[in-house]
């Protein structure tokens, strides 16, 4: 039987659909509701993986989320690519490809896809959402795997196929999602990376602190108790099973009784410099650059799990996300940019002393749970909330999100009292929105403080959060 790299298994009769003419371009025409999983012939793993990459990079969640099974003709499977599929099945003896029994648990993934809200089933090119959905649909964590085939040493097999060369790297994307509180991280490993090319393949070596040569001798020091003579071991003559002290000609037989070895030193063969502390450098196998170890990029390699907010975002998309809405409506700044503005404002006030500005902090307690309660309808509430923000704030006000439910507003030329007044108006409007439309309330915490040269935005937010 002629095998194709792509085979579709129908859900209804579980029979494989073999179409020699099926191409990736024609995947759009497939009735995905009828497809239980995709079987990829993995006799050649690189071809199968290339096919998987094409599937995962498809824009439709029906396609890129669909379970994929590698069908192998051998038990020997080496390489992380084997872990990128949802399952690996091995052909038994002369078993035919189409007779492979697909595991039932893959149906769980199909059910998750079927439960996706209707408006979210369309084309989705949002890389972050794809990552969240892959994890959510498989109820899985993103586990890194060390590999010599990837130049930065680690891959996330399940997520790797989603990314093309042009995309932001997997690690950066996961890090970004963690910052957004959509994923929670658990340390898996720590690794050094080349600052020039990001490669993790580094050759660490000690070099002479004086001349930089790596031609070092490691020399043991020997201390003879009896006469106090201390020198490197090569100065002691060998006499049978003992060393002979050059100072007193006595035999050093027993370590700890006649002598000890107090330390070792590095002796440079080139410049004769002696030191116990070599300068550790790393030579990159990829770009050949040599970098001092202290300048290397030391990163945490994490495994990632979806948070409840991340689960919601996976289901309803990032467009229903409050910060996403605020970002569109009010041009939400990053915290770092916000801090820069606050610092400039504080410096301006300190210099001229003629005006005053305020920092307002507001926290909606339990905002993240609204997603869980209201699903896609949460978007409407968030749009209303953003509208309130827009009404109360002026064009000169700057806003940032510390997390999904806490926001900081820099109000130039506004006193602390006036900022508190604006916040109370915001609170009143939000309470009105919730009580009148949703028959429930939203607890709001707020605080206003004057912008001074001592103000540290991040500290102020931390203190407020910990109150």
Partner 1 sequence: MIEQAFVFFINLSGWQLLGYFWPFFMIDMVRYVLLEGVVLLQYLPQRKRKAALYAAARQQLFSQKPLISVIVPGKNEGRYIPKLVQTLRQQSYPFYELIVVDDGSDDATPEICRELERNGLIDCFIRNEIRGGKASAANTALQFAKGRYIVHIDADSHMERDALETILLPFLMDADVGCVGGDVRVANYEDSFAAQIQRIEYSKSIMVGRTVASHLGLLRIVSGAYGAFRRDILEAIHGWDVGPGLDGDITLKIRKMGFKVVHEPASVCYTNVPTSYTKLAKQRYRWDKSMIRFRLRKHRDILWPSESFRWRNFITVADNLFFNLLLDIKWVIYFFQIIQLSSGYIAFLIILNYFFYVCANLVQWLFSAMMLRSLNQKPMYQSVMFIPLMPIYTGTYLRLIRTFAYVMELLHKRSYVDRWNPWKVSKIAKRNKL
In the complex, the smallest distance separating the C-beta of residue 282 from partner 1, rounded to whole angstroms, is: 18
**Contacts with partner 1, 405-444, as mask; x by CB under 8 A:** ----------------------------------------
Supply the minimum distance, in Å, between the C-beta of residue 230 and partner 1. Answer: 4
Torsion 312-314-318-323 (CA) sign: positive
**Interacting residues with partner 1 between 59 and 98 (CB under 8 A):** none
The sign of the CA dihedral 60, 64, 67, 68 is: positive
Checking DSSP bridges between strand 68-72 and strand 35-41, what pairing results, if any? parallel
261 part of the interface to partner 1, by CB under 8 A: yes
The single residue among 100, 221, 242, 420 that binds partner 1, judged by CB under 8 A, is: 221
Residue 284 CB, nearest approach to partner 1 (Å): 24
Q: How far is the CB of 206 from partner 1 (least distance, A)?
A: 14
Quick one: which segment of 200-208, 262-270, 359-367, 442-450 binds partner 1 (CB under 8 A)?
A: 262-270
Choose which of 265, 372, 388, 393 interacts with partner 1 (CB under 8 A).
265
- Nearest distance in Å: CB 132, partner 1: 46
Report residue 420 as tokens.
């508190």
Q: Which of the stretches 184-192, 271-279, 283-291, 309-317 binds partner 1 when contact is defined by CB under 8 A?
A: 271-279
Rounded to whole angstroms, the maximal C-alpha distance in the chain is 100
Helix, strand, coil % over all residues of the chain, rounded to 5:
35, 25, 35
Q: Provide the residue count of the chain.
A: 467
Phi, psi for 203 (deg, rounded to 5): -105, 105
Q: Which is nearer to partner 1, 204 or 225 (CB)?
A: 225
* Upper half-sphere CA count for residue 47 (Cβ side, 13 Å): 12
Q: Give residues with Cβ within 8 angstroms of 423, minimum separation 6.
A: 360, 362, 446, 447, 448
Helices (H), 275-397: 308-316, 322-330, 335-352, 367-374, 378-392
Q: Which residue has the tokens 């790297």?
A: 169
| Closer residue to partner 1 (CB): 273 or 299 | 273
Q: Please tell me whether residue 117 binds partner 1 under the rule CB under 8 A.
A: no
Distance CA 406, CA 403 (A): 5
- Smallest distance from partner 1 to CB 260, Å: 5
Q: Which of 126, 214, 223, 319 binds partner 1 (CB under 8 A)?
A: 223
Q: What are the residues facing 256 on neighbouring strands?
A: none
Contact flags string 226-255 toward partner 1, x per CB under 8 A: xxxxxxx--x----------xx--------
Q: In the complex with partner 1, which residue's Cβ is closer, 18 or 221? A: 221
Does 49 bind partner 1 (CB under 8 A)? Our answer is: no
Q: 121-156 in b/e burial notation, b at 16+ Cβ within 10 A?
A: eeebeebbbbbbbbbbbbebbbbbbebeebbbbbbb
Interface ranges with partner 1 (CB under 8 A):
209, 221, 223, 225-232, 235, 246-247, 256-258, 260-263, 265, 272-277
């Amino acid at each position: 039987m002629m095998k194709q790299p792509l085979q579709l298994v129908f859900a209804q009769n579980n029979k494989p659909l073999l179409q020699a003419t099926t191409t990736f371009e024609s995947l759009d025409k497939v009735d995905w509701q009828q497809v239980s999983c995709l079987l990829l012939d993995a006799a050649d793993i690189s071809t199968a993986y290339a096919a998987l990459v094409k599937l995962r990079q498809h824009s439709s969640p029906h396609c890129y989320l669909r379970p994929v099974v590698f069908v192998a003709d051998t038990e020997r499977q080496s390489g992380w690519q084997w872990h990128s599929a949802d399952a690996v099945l091995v052909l038994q003896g002369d078993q035919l490809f189409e007779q492979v029994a697909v595991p039932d648990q893959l149906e769980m993934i199909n059910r998750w896809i079927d439960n996706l809200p209707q408006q979210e089933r369309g084309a989705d090119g949002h890389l972050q959402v794809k990552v969240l959905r892959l994890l959510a649909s498989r109820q899985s964590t993103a586990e890194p795997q060390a590999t010599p085939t990837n130049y930065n040493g680690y891959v996330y097999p399940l997520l790797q196929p989603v990314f093309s060369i042009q995309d932001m790297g997997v690690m950066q994307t996961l890090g970004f999602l963690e910052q957004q509180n959509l994923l929670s991280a658990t340390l898996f490993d720590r690794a050094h990376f080349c600052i020039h090319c990001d490669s993790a393949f580094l050759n660490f070596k000690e070099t002479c602190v004086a001349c930089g040569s790596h031609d070092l001798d490691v020399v043991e020091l020997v201390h003879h108790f009896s006469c106090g003579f201390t020198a490197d071991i090569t100065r002691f003559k060998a006499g049978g099973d003992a060393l002979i002290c050059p100072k007193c000609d006595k035999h050093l037989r027993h370590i700890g009784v006649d002598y000890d070895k107090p330390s070792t030193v590095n002796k440079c063969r080139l410049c004769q410099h002696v030191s116990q502390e070599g300068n550790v450098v790393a030579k990159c196998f990829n770009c050949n650059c040599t970098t001092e170890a202290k300048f290397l990029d030391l990163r945490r390699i994490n495994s990632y799990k979806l948070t409840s907010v991340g689960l919601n975002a996976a289901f309803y998309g990032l467009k229903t996300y409050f910060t996403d809405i605020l970002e569109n409506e009010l041009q939400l700044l990053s915290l770092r940019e916000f801090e820069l503005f606050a610092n400039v404002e504080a410096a301006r006030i300190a210099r001229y002393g003629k005006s005053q500005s305020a920092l307002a902090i507001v926290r909606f307690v339990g905002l993240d749970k609204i997603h869980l309660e209201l699903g896609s309808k949460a978007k409407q509430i968030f749009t209303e909330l953003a509208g309130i923000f827009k009404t109360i704030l002026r064009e000169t006000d700057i806003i940032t999100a510390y997390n999904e439910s806490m926001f900081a507003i820099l109000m130039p030329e506004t006193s602390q009292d006036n900022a508190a007044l604006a916040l109370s108006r915001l609170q009143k409007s939000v309470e009105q929105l919730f009580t009148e439309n949703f028959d429930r309330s939203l607890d709001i915490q707020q605080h206003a403080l004057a912008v001074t040269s001592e103000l540290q935005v991040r500290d102020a937010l931390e203190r407020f959060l910990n109150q």
